[in-house]
Structures are given as C-alpha cells and as structure tokens.
Amino acid sequence: MAGGAREVLTLQLGHFAGFVGAHWWNQQDAALCAPTGAKEPPGELCPDVLYRTGRTPHGQETYTPRLILMDLKGSLSSLKQEGGLYRDRQLDAAIAWQGKLTTHREELYPQIPGLQDLLSAEGVLSSDGIWRVKSIPSGKGPPPLTTAAAPKPFTPTEDSIRVWSDFLRVHLHPRSICMIQKYNHDGEAGRLEAFGQGESILKEPRCLEDVEDRLHFYVEECDHLQGFQILCDLHNGFSGLGAKAAELLRDEYSGRGIITWGLLPGPYSRGDPLKNIYRLLNTALGLVHMSAHSSLVCPLSLGGSLGLRPEPPVTFPHLHYDPALPFHCGAILATALDTVTAPYRLRSSPVFMARLADMLNFSGKKVATTAATIPFPLAPGQSLPDALVQLGGAAAWTPLSACGSPSGTCCFAQSVVLRGLDRACHASQLAPGTPLPSPLHACATGEDVLAQYLQQQQPTVRSSAHLLLAPCMVAPPYPQLFSPGLSQHGLVVDGPPSGAGTWAVRVWERFYRIPS
C-alpha cells in the first residue's frame, strides 16, 4: 500500500453486523465522495487503512473495502456474492459438454428502485454541477471523464429494507463475501441460534480453509498491518463464530491488534422465553470467549440491558429512531463506530489498535464500554467552551453498550473523540476584558479546551483525546433520523427540517474502561 498506511482488515460476522457494516461502509464512501478543492490538504482520516487498491481482469482500477463478510444463505437479496466489479471469466467459458443440460435458476430479488443511482462507482457532484465518476483517492488513478445527470437524493423506506444488502452502496471485492450455506437466514428451520453452532462452523475443514485463504489474500498484500476489527453479532450463533475467528487471528497473527465489536439489535420482547435465554447465553459466552482471544472487546447496542429483564432503549435529544428497526439501529451504531475507531485511522500520529487496547485494559480485563453524544449540540455562534459548560459532566454521553448510565461509575481510562467542529469554534471568542464564564474559556486551542474539560470532570482518569475537524458524513440511504431542530450542517437551530442529502454530523464519543 502506498503512503505507509497501517492497514486494518475488517471481519463482519452476522446479519445485524451486516446492517451496521452496510451503514459503516456507506459512510466511508460518503467521506470519499465529499467534494474537496485541489489545493486542500489530505483529510485527517486515511482511507487506505480500511480500503485496498486493485485491478479487474479488464484493467479497471478499483478501490474496495479490505473486508471478509460472513452471513447466512438468503441474506444477500439482489447482491451477487462475487460482487459487481469483477467478472469471473470461467463463467464465460464455452461449455465443452455436448450432452443434455438442465439449468436451475433461482429468481432474483427485486432491487430497490433508485439505489443503483447511489452506487459509489457513479461518483460525486462537482462544484460545477456536473456528476462525475469518482476517481480513486490519493492519486491512485486518473479521474474518468464520463459525466451524467446528478441522481436525485434517495432514501429507501423502512418497508423496502429486508436485509442489509438492500441499501449497501459500495462495491465489494469477490473475496469479501463468504456465505454459510448450512444455515438459513429466513424461516424457522435451519437457523444459527446457539453459540456452539457458530463455533463448529470454523471447525469444519472446508470452511476453515476458505476463511484462511481469504485472510491470506488480504494480509499478504499489506505492508504495515496493524490488526483486525471484528464486527460480530452477539445475540445469536455468530457469537461462537466470532470467538473462533478471534482465536484463529490470535494464533496466526500474534502481536497484531484485535478489537471486537459485539453487536446487538434494539430492545427485545419477552414473547419467547427460550429465545431470550439463547440470547443471554450467546451474549455471555461470546463476551467471555472473545475477550480471551481479542485485544479488546466492546458490546454495542441501543437496548437498555444485556440481561433477561428488558429495559427501555436509549434516547438522543436530536435523533428520532425506531428501536425495532435494524435499519435505524445499525445507522446510529455505525455513526458511533466511525468516530470511536478514528484514533487508529488517523493519517498523522495515529494511536494504533494494540496501543489503544493496552491503554484501556485493566488487570487483564478486556471488556470496554462506549458512550456518545450524537450529534454534538452546538448552536450558531457558540464556541466549544460554551457547549461543554452547557453539557456538564458524564450525563453528556448516552451509553451505547447496554450497561446502564455511566454517571456514578469509576472510570479507569478513556479515549475521547470530538469531531466536526470548525477551527473558529475551538476556543472562546470573547472580547478582551470580558469576564470568563469558566476556566475553559481561558484556553487558547480546542485541544487545550478538551483536555481541561476532561481533567475537570475526571481528574484521576487516564485520557487520550482527539479533536478532528472533519465531521461524520452521512448521505442517502442513511435514514432521516435528525430532529427538525438540527440543520444539515449539524447546528442546533429552530426551523423546519432539512431535506434529503449529505449531512455533516458532529459526534462526541467516549470509549472507556471501568475497572470493576
């Protein structure tokens, strides 16, 4: 890889992980498509950490996620397992058999109207109003000269979303998608429900060999691999598969960072006690086994509890979502994930995965929690010190790990990321001689403001803080979750809701470790 990027390989295991992952990759694509001036410096986040360059058999340059994705039969909808960029020439070869042929063709799922207009290969709207095919970033290829009419903003309805592949807008490499044919996504029979079922998948020689081949394909082309991030369902049998995958990575790539994100959908109902017991056991076994083989494990969920007693879902002051829809829950968790992973994706002075995990580990306990403010509430004319004084302490963050409120807990270490604030807002703009409302208003830079705030709120906590200019970019098919009091540039305003399009979201994320 050019530029000396410290590469990360992503493993995406499970169907809800697919919802989070689809939104995650759509957000990476929205950031790649964001118009930038020719004289602007490269962005703060390096896309080469997550993406790889390649070339099709026909000579077309590609830029695709460095990703291995595993899901069950019936979960791809209209998405082809081999992707759409590469064509297998063996499929086009003439058939030498002269006897009778019988063709069994499975009917394709209908594709969502309008989604084709959003495929990343179709590019970005330039400043002159012309829709241009997106070039590979960092000068990895000449920009194509084709132009077309700009597609209309498009957001699929919740009723039209069946599976995560219905709204994925990025192209995947043929080595990315690995389908588990033994179990079904739909129906009551042949489901992957238990931890032991998932664990046994990677004990099968054929499946293990397939996964190892995919790992070697991606890893061997990396120059400076820093580690692996695993997005894995916790509530079903994929927790066992994720634990076995983490064990495989630890054995084969010792010394590399392995950060596992255990994902659970929104609140559950008490309707089926057996399913709830399965969910609890899968979650508990997954956390125990994944933490044994990972550098760090963090559960992510919008539900209020991981236990048998259901709790109300978490709420956000400026977000309106349906906690029963994976499409909504996955979008919020992907936005949080895009921010919390920023330290090891930085272009300059990154905090590598292994170092971040070491900082948050305590006495060998590797399970951390996450909380966030989405979006970070900044009113027009406010500075960062004004907003932080208004927010207050730990209650400023909404917990995202289904472990209760962080207020009153003893935090050991934390990684804090605040992104999306213009440099003009970083420090106070009070006129000379004006009495300072707080010590934060005396700080000269945004980094000093953030460090002073964290020192005030948690003086004994080991903190690593990052303040990024770039917001989290969300674009259709991201759902319309933002309240009418939020502008399309992320400011808290009074007025009618903004329309569809790309939103710049300010996110404040806290990734922390409680010692008990």
Distances (CA, A) of 177 to 29, 83, 136, 324, 360: 18, 8, 22, 27, 32
Judge whether 231 and 10 are in contact, CB under 8 Å.
yes
Q: What is the pLDDT confidence band of residue 402, given thresholds at 50, 70 and 90?
A: confident
CA angle 501, 505, 507 (to 5 degrees): 160
With 70 as the cut, is the pLDDT of residue 23 above it? Answer: yes
pLDDT for residue 309:
79
With 70 as the cut, is the pLDDT of residue 319 above it? Answer: yes
Q: What is the pLDDT confidence band of residue 301, given thresholds at 50, 70 and 90?
A: very high
Within a domain: 203: yes
Mean per-residue pLDDT, 9-28: 96
pLDDT above 70 coverage of the chain, percent: 76
pLDDT for residue 272:
76
Q: Give per-residue pLDDT as tens, 64-121.
A: 999 999 999 888 876 777 766 665 544 444 445 667 777 665 555 555 555 555 444 4
Bridge partners (DSSP) of residue 72 are 180
With 60 as the cut, is the pLDDT of residue 495 above it? Answer: no
401 and 500: one domain? yes
241 and 303: one domain? yes
Within a domain: 258: yes
199 and 289: one domain? yes
Mean per-residue pLDDT, 46-68: 91
CA angle 427, 430, 431 (to 5 degrees): 135
Q: What does pTM read for this prediction?
A: 0.86
With 50 as the cut, is the pLDDT of residue 487 above it? Answer: yes
With 70 as the cut, is the pLDDT of residue 129 above it? Answer: no
Mean per-residue pLDDT, 129-144: 43
Within a domain: 56: yes
Within a domain: 15: yes
The residue among 31 and 486 whose pLDDT is bigger is 31
- Domain range for 419: 369-513
Q: Give per-residue pLDDT as tens, 333-375.
A: 999 999 999 999 999 999 999 999 998 887 677 889 998 988 8
pLDDT for residue 395:
61
What distance in Å separates the CA atoms of residue 123 and residue 464, rounded to the nearest whole number?
36
Mean per-residue pLDDT, 53-71: 90
What distance in Å separates the CA atoms of residue 74 and residue 183, rounded to the nearest whole number?
9
Q: What is the pLDDT confidence band of residue 17, given thresholds at 50, 70 and 90?
A: very high
Within a domain: 95: no
191 and 270: one domain? yes
Within a domain: 243: yes
What distance in Å separates the CA atoms of residue 81 and residue 380, rounded to the nearest whole number?
47
Question: Minimum mean pLDDT among 237-241, 288-292, 352-356, 404-408: which range?
Answer: 404-408
Within a domain: 149: no
352 and 387: one domain? no
Residue position matching structure tokens 């956390």: 287
Question: Minimum mean pLDDT among 98-112, 164-178, 339-353, 390-404: which range?
Answer: 98-112
* Final residue before a domain boundary, out of 360, 386, 407: 360
pLDDT for residue 447:
93
265 and 374: one domain? no
Within a domain: 60: yes
Q: Give the orientation angle of helix 238-252 with respect to helix 205-219, to 10 degrees.
A: 50
CATH assignment at residue 220? 3.40.50.1440
Question: Which helix (H) or strand (E) covers residue 63, if one does?
Answer: strand 61-65
Structural domains in the chain (count):
2
309 and 422: one domain? no
Q: What is the pLDDT confidence band of residue 215, given thresholds at 50, 70 and 90?
A: very high
Q: Which DSSP category does 77 fall into?
A: T
323 and 210: one domain? yes
Mean per-residue pLDDT, 435-450: 91
Report which listed range, 88-97, 291-300, 305-314, is most confident.
291-300
pLDDT above 90 coverage of the chain, percent: 43
With 90 as the cut, is the pLDDT of residue 245 above it? Answer: yes
pLDDT for residue 8:
97
The full DSSP string for 362-412 is: BTTB-B-EEEEESS--B-TT--HHHHHHHH-SGGGSEE-BSS---TT----
322 and 401: one domain? no
What distance in Å separates the CA atoms of residue 483 and residue 491, rounded to the nearest whole number?
11
* Final residue before a domain boundary, out of 360, 395, 415: 360
Overall residue count recorded for the chain in this entry? 516
192 and 300: one domain? yes
What distance in Å separates the CA atoms of residue 255 and residue 265, rounded to the nearest whole number?
32
The residue among 186 and 413 whose pLDDT is bigger is 413
Mean per-residue pLDDT, 436-464: 90
Mean per-residue pLDDT, 245-267: 94
261 and 324: one domain? yes
Q: How far is CA 51 from the centre of its chain?
A: 14
CATH assignment at residue 435? 3.30.1330
With 90 as the cut, is the pLDDT of residue 60 above it? Answer: no
Q: What is the pLDDT confidence band of residue 446, given thresholds at 50, 70 and 90?
A: very high
414 and 277: one domain? no
pLDDT for residue 133:
40
With 60 as the cut, is the pLDDT of residue 228 above it? Answer: yes
* Final residue before a domain boundary, out of 360, 387, 410: 360
Q: What are phi and psi of 333, to 5 degrees?
A: -65, -35
What distance in Å separates the CA atoms of residue 151 and residue 427, rounded to the nearest whole number?
39
Q: Which residues of 93-108 are buried (b: 16+ CB within 10 A; e: fewer)?
A: eeeeeeeeeeeeeeee
With 70 as the cut, is the pLDDT of residue 40 above it? Answer: no
